[in-house]
Amino acid sequence: MTNHIKPAILMLLLFTALTGVAYPLAVTFFAQIMFPNQANGSLLDSKGQQLGSELIGQTFSRPEYFWGRPSATSPTSYNGGASSGSNQGPTNPALIDAVQARIKTLRHADPSHSKAIPVDLVTASASGLDPHISPAAAAYQISRVAQARHMSPDQVRELVERYTQARQWGILGEPRVNVLKLNLALDQGLK
């Protein structure tokens, strides 16, 4: 019996050391050397202060900022530890009420705007953490942001176009605007 147990224990220890220690250390070392920004969370900072990750949305509610997609995470918005969708179907009264409340908020923030509201401004993404909005959602907010910042809409539109990312490799995904990066650029442009 010991002839079988001893090799099994040695193999367990060997593979624990290889797959539980050596491999994770090698991958972490490689990531830190080759992709340090991504390996550390793609954090954005200004003047030495970390402001957030370009991969996780943040709540912006003041009129001088572009607003991102709503978050379905709880107990707080954009909670990375609770990433999930709301699991509410299109006929769920709670979802309908939430969308109507978001529409009311957007209409109240810019009463002169009569165009249709892009769907990504009133519905959460599947993860509840999406840091991007569509170019249409950004365009919808240009007049409100320009008015609140005392800028011309053309200046704000130019900034939106500059921060609009194309499809990855020209084929994957959709064009998108990172809300945090755009708002940081707005803040830096005013200083």
- Is residue 69 within 8 Å of 125, Cβ to Cβ? yes
CB atoms within 10 A of CB 126: 12
The backbone torsions φ and ψ at residue 115, rounded to the nearest 5 degrees and listed phi first, read: -70, 160
Q: How far are the Cα atoms of 81, 177, 183 from residue 28, in angstroms, in the given order?
A: 22, 30, 32
Decide: residue 143, CB within 10 A, 0-12 exposed, 13-18 middle, 19+ buried.
Answer: middle
User: Which amino acid would we find at residue 109?
Assistant: A
Please report, for the chain, the start and end positions of each structural domain, with discontinuous segments joined by +: 1-39, 59-190
Tokens 């994770």: give the residue.
Answer: 24
Provide the token pair at 131: 């840091």
**Of 124, 3, 135, 148, residue with least CA distance to 63:** 148
Q: Per-residue pLDDT tens, the chain, 191 aa: give them.
A: 778 898 899 999 999 999 999 999 999 999 899 988 788 777 777 777 777 777 777 888 888 999 888 887 777 777 677 676 667 777 878 878 888 889 888 888 888 888 888 988 888 777 777 888 999 999 999 999 998 888 889 999 999 999 999 888 888 989 999 989 999 888 887 54
Confidence (pTM): 0.77
Query: Which residues are paired to 132 by β-bridges?
Result: 178
10 Cα distance to chain centroid: 45
Q: How far are the Cα atoms of 13, 39, 58, 62, 181 from residue 124, in angstroms, in the given order?
A: 46, 26, 13, 19, 20
